[in-house]
Structure 1
């Protein structure tokens, strides 16, 4: 299992859970929930990739979800639900997660 990637995603989810608590009440059950649900799907895809004989399919699904997540994260910043420094910190972690995922995808060609 790619434990480093899984641990980074787990840690990021804990951070995401904290910062989305400050979202406006009207968005806690919409955008905040979508962000958290999508990131949990990313974590599930990593676990599926590890357990499956068809790793590449699950990794590519994970990569697509990560791109969707980036868009929602940027939207959260543009709507000013995330502070700029929170967005920059989160984006840095997502870039790191993306690099680890990309490396795993390349190793499974």
Structure 2
């Protein structure tokens, strides 16, 4: 796992995200929180798949899509109307996702060359 840095970043983001999801209200633990968890684990699965495949471009594009889906879910959880996620935690989580996105963008650029 050390040689593939984006995988470690996704792993760390999942650990942080699971801590944040624990404070969601009970009514949302099986709705939005479950969707966010599923999205995080799909992101992890796609990252591992991409690392193992010879042709990585399409799977990397799937990671990009899943990353945007996850960003949207987290933004929804931190919305002024829902307030399931405090702004500070949203900010930290968004920074982690942005860093993963930047790493993915650089990785996709190297694949296109």
- TM normalised by structure 2 equals 0.92
Could you tell me which residue of structure 1 aligns to residue 110 of structure 2?
A: 107
Question: 1:17-38: CA deviations, max 9, x gaps?
Answer: 0110100101101111110110
**Alignment of 1:66 onto 2:67:** yes
Structural mapping, 1:32-43, within 5 Å: 32-43=33-44
After superposition, residues 28-107 of structure 1 pair within 5 angstroms as 28-78=29-79, 79-107=82-110
For residues 45-93 of structure 1, the C-alpha deviation after alignment (integer angstroms, 9 at most, x for no partner) is 1111111122001000000000011100000001100000000111111
**Aligned length, in residue pairs:** 109
Secondary structure at 1:53 match in 2: coil
Higher relative helix content? 1
Q: Could you tell me the TM-score, scaled by structure 1's length? A: 0.96
Task: Give the root-mean-square deviation of aligned CA atoms.
Answer: 1.1
